[in-house]
Amino acid sequence: MVVKTTPDKNFGAQEKLIEKIRSRRKKYTTIVNGKMYVVYPDVFSPHYVLDSAFYAKHLPNQKGKTLLEVGSGVGLLAITAAFQGAKAVTAVDINPHAVKNTLENAKRHKVDAVVTAYRSDIFKNIPRGQKFDSIIWNVPWGDFGGNKRLNLIQVAFYDPGYRLLGRFISQAPKYLKPKGKLFIGFSTSIGSREVLEKFLEKAGFSWRIAVRGRFSTGHPAGAINIETFEAKIKRRR
């Protein structure tokens, strides 16, 4: 079943959710997929954003691989990859609170020898020449926000004009190993599948929807579909 939310309804619902997250001014803990995570104020929270647990639960097996998570938040996907046996995990976020949050949770779960975290605007601070088997980002789905200054939580939800998505996909090939894969957490109910696929085509990727889920309840915008797009560079003839 194809579900499509209206932009006005979704924007209003997201703003209410953002205010809930921002109202928490002290660190707190939450259970995600049976494990406890610390959540810092002003960090994208899996306590309120239910799709985070879905993407972690359905993360393709990273055993023996090197992985980069963009927009790590509390470090949920990075730490999940470490639990799976990833060789090395790099977690980056533009939000300095999220970087500290990821590091604390990695230490809490005793995977800090595997998980490295630092601040980066997508690939900006990734060392030149470093490449990964997997790159993953639960991207901001909504083309909302316009030209206004976004707070730290809005940046995790909104991508005006899909400028971040375009930059992420266009630059990703430089950081993928020859057989590496790009994983994009998305919602075709809220975001534009057409725009996403145009970016992938232009960057030379082939792709498929690896995982699809549906939230009938629990999302502020109502029933939505969510997906993980799996992409890899097309072989050159």
pLDDT, one tens digit per residue, over 189-213 is 999 999 999 999 999 999 999 999 9
pLDDT surpassing 90 at residue 157: yes
pLDDT, one tens digit per residue, over 32-90 is 999 999 999 999 999 999 899 999 999 999 999 999 999 999 999 999 999 999 999 99
Please give the sequence-ordered ranges of beta strands (E in DSSP) within 13-114, or none if there are none. Answer: 28-32, 35-39, 66-70, 88-93
Q: How much is the average pLDDT of 210-237?
A: 82
Higher pLDDT, 207 or 11: 207
Q: What is the pLDDT of residue 43?
A: 97
Q: How far apart are CA 132 and CA 211, in angstroms?
A: 21
Of the chain, the percentage scoring pLDDT greater than 70 comes to 93
**CA 232, 142, 2, 194: dihedral to nearest 10 degrees?**
-50
Of the candidates 218, 195, 75, 197, the one whose C-alpha atom is nearest the C-alpha of residue 142 is: 195
pLDDT surpassing 60 at residue 2: no
Cβ atoms of 178 and 191 closer than 8 Å: no
The pTM assigned to this predicted structure is 0.94
Q: What is the pLDDT of residue 5?
A: 63
- Model confidence at 236, pLDDT cuts 50, 70, 90, reads low
Q: How far apart are CA 149 and CA 26, in angstroms?
A: 24
Annotated domain spans of the chain: 7-233
Burial class of 113 by CB neighbour count within 10 A (0 to 12, 13 to 18, 19+): exposed
pLDDT surpassing 80 at residue 222: no
- Model confidence at 12, pLDDT cuts 50, 70, 90, reads confident
Q: Does domain 7-233 have CATH number 3.40.50.150?
A: yes
